A = this chain, B = another copy of it.
Amino acid sequence: GANESNGDSIPASIPSVEHSDLDWAFERSVDDADEIEVGDVVTFEKTLSEDDVRAFAEVSGDTNRLHLDEEFAADTRFGERIVHGTLVSGLISAALARLPGLTVYLSQDLEFSGPVGIGDRVSARVEVVEALGNAQYRLETTIRNETEDATVIDGEAVVLIDELPE
């Protein structure tokens, strides 16, 4: 249902593209791993909630008070709590995972250029910019804060696309 908010509620065997009932949006320009080429794009979008930030603090161990403590954050340069940069960057991984085939992460460069507030809507866009051979691809990876209409992460990824298991 649209209000699933417990990690346990994600059935292990459901492929990502069937998660259309969550508050997530997803598009891709190519559906066959053999046809991936320069210019192909995948986008993935979700809201980053209070619960998401608290869960990420625990699973990663990043309990920086800038993310968790409103009173503390009010006196920082941001003036309010912000979402962990690494959690925001997770939407790049979510977009890469939606390339056709089995995506394996080889590298990622990130530049954090702006904050994401608690509850902001965020979109990731990954675009194939180079076919490196041996089923490896270089992609431009961008995250926009749709709520604030601003780019918040720029970067580049290299992935390996394996065939899906039978």
Known A-B contacts A60-B93, A90-B56, A90-B59; the reply to A162 vs B77 at CB < 8 A is: yes
Query: Interface residue count for A (Cβ, 8 Å)?
Result: 65
How many copies of the chain does the oligomer comprise? 2
Cα distance A65–B12 in the bound complex, in angstroms: 7
Extra contacts besides A48-B59, A62-B90, A106-B111 (15): CB < 8 Å: A7-B51, A7-B55, A8-B54, A12-B65, A56-B56, A60-B91, A61-B90, A62-B97, A64-B103, A66-B104, A76-B165, A85-B108, A86-B105, A107-B111, A108-B112
Contact at A61–B75, with CB atoms within 8 Å? Answer: no
> Does A34 sit within 8 A of B, measured CB to CB?
no
A residues bordering B, Cβ < 8 Å?
Answer: 4-8, 10, 12-16, 19, 24, 44, 46, 48, 51-52, 54-66, 68-72, 74-77, 84-87, 89-94, 97, 102-112, 162, 165-166
